[in-house]
Structure 1
Amino acid sequence: MTNLYSKLVLAYPKVWLALITLIVGVSGVYVQDFRLDASADSLILENDQDLLYHRAINKAYGTEEFLIITYTPFGELLSKDSLDGLRGLKEDLSKLERIGSVVSILDVPLLESPRIKISDLENNKRTLETPGLDKKLAQKEFTTSPIYKKLLASPDGKTTALLAFYKRDEKYYSLMEVRDDLREKKRSKKFLTYEEEITLREVSLEFKKHLAHRQDIQKEEIKKVRSILDKYRDKAKIFLGGLPMITSDMVDFIDNDLSVFSVGVFCLMVVSMWFFFRKIRWVALPLLCCVFSAWIMVGFLGWLDWRVTVISSNFISILTITTIALTIHLIVRYGELHAENPNMGQAELVSTTIGLMFQPCFYTAITTIVAFLSLMVSGIRPVIDFGWIMTIGITLAFIISFILFPSLLKLMNPKEAVSSHDITKRLTSNIGLFTLGNRNKILFIAAFLALMSVAGVLQLQVDNRFIDYF
């Protein structure tokens, strides 16, 4: 195996470096297509019965997406200043392109101010905008009527709500309906004709593209809504809610997680490796492997149009840690060989290091992959996707570590990898001596903790209700 590896990889380091550089360049083309997703499709399985029921109701009754804005004026709710602010807010929201209508206490019919029959509404519709309306009766109706209480007004009469309904996206719903019908037919009958398979593939692709476009528009629109709300915060306490806002904010959270945690892990690795090795080479090589692995993986996901969800958003951080672990094994073994054989040539040092460490690193990678593959049985769509992403990512990290690292190292001069400041050898030696001297105690404590863990495992529950956290 070592001889084959040396003939295929170590004999042509520049060729492999050129090939990896080419792959990195091609990946860069697709990195821009890397997408974050927080839609219902990304959070649950395709055949989820609750989602299918929700969409059936939506199809039958035509319910639309909406934003809800709570408005608590600093003065009385039905005072002139409060209603003027509410009226201005409603008018500004109505001007947004995708907003079809805005419902507020200003325009809902009043039935008990004073009481009239519903049949009389057509000829005698009364709202807060009706001249001479008794506002005290209106205030009482908003806080006691089962139609408006806790819906458009709070029980204490201090807070009201505006509902901003979106215009129906006919293309979105038509594509989703065709796709879901074909999926359901395939699931129930276990068969689709060739033409239906082609249609399903094309419609699914078109739906993903439209969803991405809609997501971009929605993000900008939520910013505009918040900008409008900011204009009225001197008149009232205002809060924004609704599914479109939650979806947009979740994407922002994922994007922030990718940036913050990835940069944080990267900086921590730089500091840690400099502390252990004190050589630029042994800091730069592992980090280069990490960057290349993450970049190629992101490009691969963009190429497949594989959206990252709130669950899988930390894959770059985990991938970085895994790649660092593999390359540190190689560095330490290389350093030990160099210390034991200071006259050994660089090619032989690299070849021997790879020969000694390939199998241990392979088992490390494969056991980690098996752990992530176990997520496939979770039955939760984002968790399953996370398992696949990490399985592919760790495989890629292993390949990059055993091609890029030795190829670059072979082109360099031999250099020690063990710093005189390194305290890990002394630390691990002390831990080993402590373990040998306290074997029975350690086994007893481990058995006790294992029994406690079993009790804890039995209490674990799976929760897939992401919406409850908002």
Structure 2
Amino acid sequence: MLVKFLKIIISHPKITFFGTLFICLFLSFFTLRMSVDASAESLLLEDDVDLKTFREISKHYKNDNFLILAFEPKNGNLFSRTNLSKIEKIHHDLENAPLVERVFSIINAPLLQSSENTDLKELLKNIPNIQSKDINQTKAKNEILNSPFYKNNIISKDGKVAGIVIYLKPDDIYNQLIEKRDHATNEKNKNQIRLAIKQHQDKQKVINKQSLDFIKNIVKKYEANGDKLYLGGVSMIADDMISYIKSDLLIYGISLIFLLGLALYYFFRSWRFVFLPLFICFISLSAASGVFALLNFQITVISSNYVALVLIITLSVVIHLITHFIEISQTHPDAKIQRLVLQTLLAKAKPSLYAIVTTMIGFFSLILSNIEPIIKLGIMMSIGIGLALIFSYLFLASILVLLKPKQYHKKEFKFNFLKFCAKISLDSKKRYIIYGISCVAILTSLFGISKLRVENSFVNYFRDGSEIKKGLLVIDKNLGGTLPLDVIIRFKNNQINTDSNNTLDSFEDEFENLEKKDTYWFNSQKTRLAKKVHEFLEHQKFVGSVLSLNSLLILGKNINNGEDLDDFALAFLNENLPQNFKQDLISPFVNIKNNELRFTMRIVDSDPNLRRNEFLIKLNENLHELLKNDNVQIQITGIMVLYNNMLQSLFSSQFDTLVFVILAIFILFIFVFRDLKFSTIAILVNVIPLSVVFALMGLCQIPLDMMSITIAAIAIGIGVDDAIHYIYRFKEEIKTKTIEEAIINSHLSIGSALYYTTISIVLGFSVMMSSNFIPTIYFGVLTVFVMILLLSGSLFLLPSFLISLYSKNSKISNQYIKHTNI
């Protein structure tokens, strides 16, 4: 069947070429529909219980979506008239930005201790700020610098950096769609809602981009005077990630064309074998991208690597075919081009198919994770490399026939290198050294892998010196941290003031009814717990800013001549504070309807000693211990929890992924090689180098992140190609030759293709090191390293295993080794 099909397409090269080209161009047309998604939601677990809790809590408290603009004046005097005037202008400009709901800074921060008016009732009618006429500027400065609400939030402890909080309008439509999706009863309805969510997000992205660009232009405008302004926040990080992804895709494309072009000319010394592989690679990539667009797949931080991966794997297939074509062209110089092409495609049909299938299995294993972008990457790569094999065969079958026959030559020194590798394996003493190194690698891996850890530092995701990292560091170190985290303390609905032990039973119902009214919600137990938890959180390492009801209690004590506010004073403030001030001083920390207190924190994300998962586990344990006798419910939520859940899910699923990949490929090996020993050898040759890479990460304290955690599936998927091609060729050679000749010939033939493909892969992944995104750089470096180890395994360890396997039946001639010209 395959022979007939190949004969047909080879016999009609023009129809095959133009027909395939038309299909590719048609699919490529849809590539323009692909969009980039770097939103926080794209990396979260859809079924995460904590995510549902986070969204539910967000309904109780508004203004969770915000940006922070740090202002550092050139002259260092933040409270000078000139600088206050600048902040006021920035403040006013930001209020006019699209999607901005309100702006909070030292300009409009309410001041209750700096006015000459000491009557609280009168003061609450018209709360002054630092720009008010009757304000005492010295007192105002001291109040802002020492206020529990402002210090380490909208002003640094040293008073040199001001923070301007930009609250963005909530996306009510998105929230409603998410709620509908979560309550959908069947998968069909969920998919329809998911499509509606995507369509809404596409529209919203344009509006968000306009708003952020507007804000960035304001920043540039005021930076012209020499003052320093730094913008940070989740939306800002997402926008910069999108810019980096688009930049990386452009750099990948241009750099890969140049580097792979040089490599191909270095391999084949023929321009036709430079342009032909590059043409097939990029037309296949464009067609695959069109398919992804038709499937409504979006490019994320993780899946942006599909460009380099598809190009590299397609090139690997093409190089194997071209290398074999050149080899048989030299062996049969007088044969017709059609026969040479047919023999090449037939000879490589099985190993290429098996290699692609194993690679697809490696990528397809990514669906075992619960992270949608990683699942999509697995599906995208499985489709992409499947199309790569099909298009490579169709284009090569037609183009090689259409090109005029030509004599081809290989570089001789590569033969010398490959012969050297073969000689090492054939030498019994050196072979045992290879085994010894492998054993050391395995033992080292067992120790190193135990040291692996998972982290997700947003600050450290960007290059040193980049504008976004500068901004995040300034905010992180001067304005209370960058990573939001909340603690929710929920009281029982029937709970009353437990401090009043002598309350008569006859009055219980009356008190319960009174407590349902906002005025009587505040009591001594709640204020005691607010203080207890707040002070506990403030003393936790890695915690920057902490705000809660206790912040208001401290403020109240300062304006009440050092005396604590009682229940009636709190109730009075809750009833009489103007709404615009209440939304900053009470509403973010108290939800009377749901009978809960909220403690908002920001974690210092740049601290190198922060271990997020350990921190969250310990914080949860300590809070439960602290409040074990208070009969309350405790919930820790926030962006930090959600991202930590995502990475921990990936880490825990890594074992399942590896087991699935190894077992699936092992079963396929048994089917391919029909031999348990060959299958075991092929697996070991790939698992050992992969283990070394993870051991290196553990020993060098390189954390697993959202990209490097996918290396296992990707590397083993690509790496098994070498073992399949080598063993397949060796089994052909051993039928008619001695073990020595079979190893030498396998090295000189298939080893050459492995050498070419590995260099191409190394060049391809090295392009990732030019990224501004640190996880991409690590991914590139680690993948390059593992590919070099996999090539070493195929050229040294694999032949050593094969020689040991056959040595029982065939004794290797040392004389052959000594006298072979290597």
The normalised TM-score by structure 2 is 0.53
1:439 paired with 2:440, answer no
Distance 1:205 1:467, change over 3 A: farther
* Equivalence for 1:179: 181
State the shift of 1:124 in Å.
3.4
Distance 1:414 1:228 in 2: 63
State the shift of 1:307 in Å.
0.9
> Equivalent residue of 1:232, what SS?
helix
Aligned pairs for 1:14-33 within 5 A: 14-33=14-33
> Equivalent residue of 1:165, what SS?
strand
Distance 2:119 2:28 in 1: 67
Q: 1:369 aligns with which of 342, 347, 360?
A: 360
Give the conservation status (yes or no) of the 8 Å contact 2:28–2:288.
Answer: no
1:264 paired with 2:255, answer yes
Distance 1:422 1:32, change over 3 A: farther
State the shift of 1:455 in Å.
2.1
State the shift of 1:337 in Å.
0.7
Q: What is the identity, as a one-letter code, of the residue corresponding to 2:85? A: D
Q: 1:449 aligns with which of 436, 441, 444?
A: 441
* Equivalence for 1:300: 291
1:357 paired with 2:357, answer no
State the shift of 1:2 in Å.
4.5
Q: What is the identity, as a one-letter code, of the residue corresponding to 1:216? A: V
Q: What is the identity, as a one-letter code, of the residue corresponding to 1:396? A: L
- Provide structure 2 residue ranges, at least 5 long, that are not aligned to the other structure: 462-471, 473-822
* Equivalence for 1:253: 244
> Equivalent residue of 1:37, what SS?
coil
* Equivalence for 2:769: none
Give the conservation status (yes or no) of the 8 Å contact 1:45–1:381.
Answer: yes
Give the conservation status (yes or no) of the 8 Å contact 2:16–2:394.
Answer: yes
Q: What is the identity, as a one-letter code, of the residue corresponding to 1:293? A: S
Distance 1:43 1:80 in 2: 45
How much identity, in percent, do the aligned residues show?
A: 31
Distance 1:341 1:448 in 2: 46
State the shift of 1:385 in Å.
2.2
> Equivalent residue of 1:356, what SS?
helix
State the shift of 1:127 in Å.
0.6
> Equivalent residue of 2:222, what SS?
coil
Give the conservation status (yes or no) of the 8 Å contact 1:327–1:401.
Answer: yes
Distance 1:456 1:116, change over 3 A: farther
Deviations 1:398-457 (A, max 9, x none): 1111111222112222223334x4532222122212222221111111121122122222
Distance 1:8 1:50 in 2: 58
Give the conservation status (yes or no) of the 8 Å contact 2:90–2:218.
Answer: yes
Distance 1:200 1:367 in 2: 32
Distance 1:235 1:329, change over 3 A: closer
Give the conservation status (yes or no) of the 8 Å contact 2:268–2:409.
Answer: yes
Give the conservation status (yes or no) of the 8 Å contact 1:64–1:167.
Answer: no
* Equivalence for 1:219: 209
Give the conservation status (yes or no) of the 8 Å contact 1:375–1:387.
Answer: yes
**Whose Rg is larger?**
2
State the shift of 1:119 in Å.
4.5
State the shift of 1:465 in Å.
6.7
Distance 1:253 1:326 in 2: 30
Aligned pairs for 1:368-447 within 5 A: 368-419=359-410, 421=411, 423-437=413-427, 438-447=430-439
* Equivalence for 2:142: 140
* Equivalence for 1:35: 35
Distance 1:415 1:144, change over 3 A: same
Distance 1:52 1:266 in 2: 45
* Equivalence for 1:348: 339
Distance 1:235 1:428, change over 3 A: closer
Give the conservation status (yes or no) of the 8 Å contact 1:13–1:408.
Answer: yes
State the shift of 1:384 in Å.
2.4
Distance 2:387 2:267 in 1: 26
Distance 1:269 1:80 in 2: 59
* Equivalence for 1:204: 194
Q: What is the identity, as a one-letter code, of the residue corresponding to 1:59? A: K
- Provide structure 1 residue ranges, at least 5 long, that are not aligned to the other structure: 187-191
CA RMSD of aligned residues (A): 2.1
Give the conservation status (yes or no) of the 8 Å contact 1:93–1:164.
Answer: yes
* Equivalence for 1:328: 319
Distance 2:444 2:408 in 1: 42
Distance 1:467 1:382, change over 3 A: farther
Report the more deviating stretch, 26-35 or 78-87. 26-35
Q: What is the identity, as a one-letter code, of the residue corresponding to 1:31? A: T
Larger RCO: 1 or 2 (CA < 8 Å, sep 6+): 1
Q: What is the identity, as a one-letter code, of the residue corresponding to 1:105? A: I
Distance 1:22 1:449, change over 3 A: same
Q: What is the identity, as a one-letter code, of the residue corresponding to 1:218? A: N
Deviations 1:10-48 (A, max 9, x none): 333333323322222222331111111112332122112
> Equivalent residue of 1:238, what SS?
strand
State the shift of 1:235 in Å.
5.3
Give the conservation status (yes or no) of the 8 Å contact 1:143–1:153.
Answer: yes
Aligned pairs for 1:28-177 within 5 A: 28-75=28-75, 76-114=77-115, 116=118, 119-177=121-179
State the shift of 1:199 in Å.
4.3
Give the conservation status (yes or no) of the 8 Å contact 1:261–1:314.
Answer: no
* Equivalence for 1:189: none
Distance 1:238 1:274, change over 3 A: same
> Equivalent residue of 1:231, what SS?
helix
Distance 2:121 2:426 in 1: 90
> Equivalent residue of 1:423, what SS?
helix
Task: Report how many residues are paired.
Answer: 457
Q: What is the identity, as a one-letter code, of the residue corresponding to 1:92? A: D
Distance 1:22 1:216 in 2: 33
State the shift of 1:463 in Å.
4.3
> Equivalent residue of 1:239, what SS?
strand
> Equivalent residue of 1:32, what SS?
helix
State the shift of 1:296 in Å.
0.8
Distance 1:302 1:256, change over 3 A: same
Distance 1:235 1:432 in 2: 64
Report the more deviating stretch, 131-140 or 286-295. 131-140
Give the conservation status (yes or no) of the 8 Å contact 2:98–2:210.
Answer: no
Q: What is the identity, as a one-letter code, of the residue corresponding to 2:88? A: R
Give the conservation status (yes or no) of the 8 Å contact 2:104–2:164.
Answer: yes
Give the conservation status (yes or no) of the 8 Å contact 1:2–1:351.
Answer: no
Distance 1:467 1:305, change over 3 A: farther
Report the more deviating stretch, 145-154 or 232-241. 232-241
Report the more deviating stretch, 454-463 or 334-343. 454-463
Distance 1:246 1:226, change over 3 A: same
